Each structure stands twice: as C-alpha cells, then as structure tokens.
Amino acid sequence: MFPSGQTKSLGMASIDTLGRTILRLNDLSLPDGEIFERLVEDIGRLIPNSTVWLACSDIRERAITSYLGPWAGQAAALAPAFGRHIESHPQFMALCHGTAAPVDAVSDYISLNQWRATGMYDEVLRVAGALDQLSSSLPLNEDLSFSIVVNRDRWGFTAQERALLGLIMPHVVLAWRNRMLVKRTSPIPAPPDEASAGFHCKIICDSSGNIIQATESVLRWLSSAFGAKRSHKLPENILHWLRFTLKESPITIPPILNIRTRRGFQLDVSLSAGSPYDLHTISFQRTAGKAEARAIKLTTLGLSLRQAEVLQWVADGKTNEEVGIILNISRFTVKAHLRAIFEILMVENRNAASAIAWKILSE
C-alpha cells in the first residue's frame, strides 16, 4: 500500500491508522461530511497536539477560497486576516511561486522570532492557538489547489509527521476527485443541449467562483454558452450575481437568476448556498414557455432557433410585420429568415412551409 522507503521510520500504530484512514476515504457508505470529520480526527492522531484545516486555494489570485471539515468555521472566521497578511506567510508564498516542498512548515522558512513579529502570526495563528503550521498541497484542477493544513501549539514537526502527511495527501485528493464531490452532481453523459426544453445541469463552486466539480461536458458548455475564459471559473455575469447574493445573509429563499445564453436561450440559474468559504450548488434549467417550446420543436427541421420562431408565427397566420413586432426585428429581417427557411425546407412559399410546420407541431 505504501512505498517501503517512506514507512521505515513509521511505527506500526501509525501505519495501521494511516491504512484505516485511506480505507475510510473510499468508503462510499459514509456521508461526505463524516469523511472530512474522520479525516481530521485521524490526522490529529497521526500528528498530535494539532488542529487540522482542509482548504481550497486559487493560486493565481493568492487566496483561500473554501474550507471543509469540523474546523472550517474557525478557519473561515480568520480568512479576512489571512488575506491581509498573505505576503508574510512564507509557506503560502512558496506555494504561489511554485517553490514549496511537497510537505513543508512555517519553521522551514523563518525563525521563531521573525514569525512572531508578523501580522500573520499575531492575527491568525496565535488566535487559532497555534505556533507552527505544517501543510501539503496538490492541484485539484488547472485553477485550484487542495491543502491539508496542520496547526500546532509548538515549534517544529518531526520527519515522521512530515512523512505521514506526505503519504496521506495523494489519497485524499484522489478520494476528493473520484468520490466526495462527484457524488454531489448529476452526471451529464453527453454535452448539455440548451435547446432542449428539459435542459438541466448543475455545478459545485466556491465563493470565489472556482468550479470545484462539474463534468467536462458542462465545463465546455459553460464556455460556449457564456464565453467563460477559464474553464474552471464561473462566467463573469454569474460570478457577480453569486457574490452579490452571498452578501445577503442569511439567504432565506433560494435565489434565481434569469439569463440568456449566447444562442439566445433563456435559463433559470438557481443557487443552493453554503456558508461563507464553503461550497455552493448552482443549477441551470430551462423552463420553456409554450411559444418557445413550439419553436424548439421546429428546430428538428434543421432550422436555427430564430428561424423556427419566425416559422411558428408564420404558421399561425401572422404577417411579416406582425412577426417582426413579436420578435422585435424588422420586417426585412423576417423576409431574410423566410428565404432561408424556404431553402432549408425546399419549398417555394409560406403556405407550404406552414404545412410542414403544423405537421411537426401536431406530432
């Protein structure tokens, strides 16, 4: 289970605890919250006299974006102070610059007297009842890193404690990817089709808009539907809505945003919010009205949605001018759409096109 070179200095009790921890991480019968609680308890046994924070960080923005586990509340309360003094945290800056060791401690970078003189120690670590901090981080995706942070009330960590954290870290990230967060989404087997009246998908994100979990097809859809530049980041308009909504605390009614995609489809975006520095579920769903549903049905003829909208109103006997008023386009644009429709349907006039439309709509 473990590389022999890394376990030579470990006692049997530690190896046994480590083995049970890894088995528990992959126990599908345990709820996610309990998994995090058990993980924190087990690390506390392996590295005594410590508290444990589980955190996600956006390395590009140099910010911790979410906390998990039983100590998440304490960590989140200290997060604003952490952000103010980020430049004086040697471990985190090493992580941002890509120079951090797989497992490192504050005491690897700075003397105790220097550390005690920083605002990071005075306003964060000291308040948490800690003196030194041991951590390990691995990427969850191209934008986000996951960290186990061990706070201790004395200076320094042993080689065995570092080895234990280094051994457990890859298993935690693997469990995160393959079990913990995957369970929170409804997998979409094929790329979402926003033209479908039954379109529905959801993602898990943190308060900074980092997408923690979503299928690859949903990520591609988000990028094409809203022009998202980063594949694991919420589109800007949805991110602004999320941040504004989270300021309204407590959220008593699930908020809903109505938004139009690049292709012109209307979506209801709903938020199931967690606590600050926690994870949130955002759902995207189309609830097409009668006219829109009919137009969507006509897209099966090979028409664009706009062409289908023009055809359905023509089939209802509307004139070009009336169709233009309904769709907020000029009658000349309606004529241009009709010419394209006739070509696609291989007909010569609006009566023939209307007959084909009614055949589809009556099925």
Please, what is the angle between helix 12-25 and helix 159-175, to 10°? 10
Q: Are residues 89 and 124 in the same domain?
A: yes
- The reported pLDDT for the residue numbered 206 is 82
Please, what is the angle between helix 305-315 and helix 320-327, to 10°? 130
- The reported pLDDT for the residue numbered 157 is 93
Q: Are 166 and 134 in contact (CB under 8 A)?
A: no
Instruction: Among 285, 303, 325, give the residue marking a domain's end.
Output: 285
**pLDDT average, residue stretch 217-235:** 81
Assessment of whether the complete model's pTM goes beyond 0.75: no
- 80: closest CA among 276, 321, 222? 276
CATH number of the domain to which 257 belongs: 3.30.450.20
- The reported pLDDT for the residue numbered 241 is 84
The three-class DSSP label of residue 274 is coil
Beta bridge partners of 255: none
- The reported pLDDT for the residue numbered 134 is 94
Q: Are residues 221 and 103 in the same domain?
A: no
Query: What value does the mean pLDDT of the chain take?
Result: 81
Residue 177: other Cβ atoms inside 10 A? 14
Q: Residues of the chain with pLDDT > 70: what percent?
A: 86
Q: Are 25 and 175 in contact (CB under 8 A)?
A: yes
CATH number of the domain to which 110 belongs: 3.30.450.80
Q: Are 107 and 156 in contact (CB under 8 A)?
A: yes
CA atoms within 13 A on the CB side of 43: 30
Q: Are residues 271 and 309 in the same domain?
A: no
- The reported pLDDT for the residue numbered 114 is 95
d(CA 197, CA 285): 9
Q: Are residues 265 and 303 in the same domain?
A: no
Structure confidence by residue, pLDDT tens digits, 34-89: 777 888 888 888 888 888 888 888 777 777 778 877 787 888 888 889 889 988 99
Q: Residues of the chain with pLDDT > 90: what percent?
A: 23
Confidence of residue 188 (pLDDT cuts 50, 70, 90): very low
Compare 78 and 5 and report the one with higher pLDDT.
78
Q: Are residues 305 and 192 in the same domain?
A: no
Q: Are residues 230 and 98 in the same domain?
A: no
Residue 3 in this model has a pLDDT that exceeds 60: no
**Which residue spans within the chain are E strands per DSSP?**
50-58, 63-68, 104-105, 132-139, 144-152, 200-206, 211-213, 256-260, 266-272, 279-285
| Residue-number span of the structural domain to which 344 is assigned | 290-361
**pLDDT average, residue stretch 243-250:** 72
- The reported pLDDT for the residue numbered 2 is 41
Residue 229 in this model has a pLDDT that exceeds 80: no
d(CA 344, CA 354): 13
- The reported pLDDT for the residue numbered 186 is 46
- The reported pLDDT for the residue numbered 10 is 62
Q: Are residues 19 and 145 in the same domain?
A: yes
2: which residues sit within 8 A by CB, 6+ positions away? 15, 18, 167
d(CA 196, CA 199): 5
Q: Are 298 and 361 in contact (CB under 8 A)?
A: yes
The three-class DSSP label of residue 89 is coil
Q: Which amino acid is at 23?
A: L
Compare 272 and 7 and report the one with higher pLDDT.
272
Instruction: Among 285, 314, 333, give the residue marking a domain's end.
Output: 285
Check residue 362 and give left, alpha or beta (phi > 0: left; psi -120 to 50: alpha): alpha
Structure confidence by residue, pLDDT tens digits, 139-187: 877 777 888 999 999 999 998 899 889 988 888 888 776 655 544 444 4
- The reported pLDDT for the residue numbered 183 is 45
Q: Cα 67 to chain center, whole Å?
A: 13
Q: Are residues 173 and 241 in the same domain?
A: no
Q: Are residues 329 and 196 in the same domain?
A: no
Instruction: Among 262, 285, 308, give the residue marking a domain's end.
Output: 285
Query: How many domains would you assign to the chain?
Result: 3
CATH number of the domain to which 309 belongs: 1.10.10.10
280: which residues sit within 8 A by CB, 6+ positions away? 204, 205, 206, 207, 242, 246, 271, 272, 273, 274
